Structure 1
Amino acid sequence: MSDHKPVSFIVPGEAVGKGRPRVRMLGAKPGKKPVPMLYTPAETKAYEDLIARYAAASMQGRELITGPVLVELKIAVGIAVSWSKKKTAAALAGQVMPTKKPDADNVLKAICDGINGIVFKDDVQVVNVSMSKRFAEKPGVSVRVVPLEGLPS
């Protein structure tokens, strides 16, 4: 039976949303039919690697979660240095919301892909999600994975 304690960690820095797969054509030479190959953008790959490092450290040798989970994300978005003190204070107070990139759902996808095989076996186990995106002095993503009662299907 897997451990029922939540796994929590923080991924420092500005959040990066999962980028769309890109296509590279291979073998585009005379007489050869080009073959499309999908690949993950470098920025996405680097961010997923960063997520994986912090997730692995938080696991401290415990076994993968095998049942259903709740994933909680608190996305902290940095404030532009060009903003006035008044606008910065309003942003920190939650009066100005970060309606800018990255999209919260794309950050969720990057986090889930980054912790696949590290915190849980597969992101199909995510049955509940709680997300928020707010401005903060220190950008980063607070991640909490909570094992839920209930049997997997």
Structure 2
Amino acid sequence: MTIYTKATAQGRPRFNGYTHRAYDDAKSREWKREIGYEMKQAYKHTPIKTPIALMVYIEIEPPQSWSNRKRERVIHTPITNRPDLDNYIKAIQDSMNGIIYLDDKQIYKLYAVKRYGKENKITLVVKGET
């Protein structure tokens, strides 16, 4: 499954002082809702109930402020600056809960890549193990 959108990292959790519960910041919550909708459109089956191997490929366009020459040169090269890869993965896994699988605790194997690409996109490969 490929989703053509810019990946957003999971933000720091916010805490409600009255209930003492954590919740997502507005940016993370809205992005997860948007990605969840895209996943529901692409995946019309019941959630997977078996252990899962997940592969995530995140491609991000180079900044517009870079020269065209530099932008072309960095395509398919790893991104090593912030936000961290694991923060992207957390947001993606949370958005898949209840749609692709029942809960992200089912994931026992994970492979992830964050690199520059010609367009913003997230490619997901999900394999249910039996």
TM-score of the two chains, using structure 1 as the length reference: 0.77
Q: 1:89-100 alignment to 2 at 5 Å?
A: 89-94=72-77, 97-100=78-81
Gaps of 5+ in 2: none
Partners of 2:48 and 2:12 lie apart in 1 by: 28
Question: Is 1:47 matched with 2:35?
Answer: no
Q: 1:71-110 alignment to 2 at 5 Å?
A: 71-94=54-77, 97-110=78-91
Partners of 1:57 and 1:81 lie apart in 2 by: 31
Partners of 1:85 and 1:15 lie apart in 2 by: 22
Larger CA Rg, structure 1 vs 2: 1
1:114 deviates by 0.4
Q: 1:1-153 alignment to 2 at 5 Å?
A: 9-26=1-18, 36-60=20-44, 62-94=45-77, 97-149=78-130
TM-score of the two chains, using structure 2 as the length reference: 0.90
Gaps of 5+ in 1: 1-8, 27-34
Residue type at the aligned position of 1:135: Y
The count of residues paired between Structure 1 and Structure 2 equals 130
RMSD of Structure 2 on Structure 1 (CA): 1.6
User: What is the aligned-residue identity percentage?
Assistant: 25
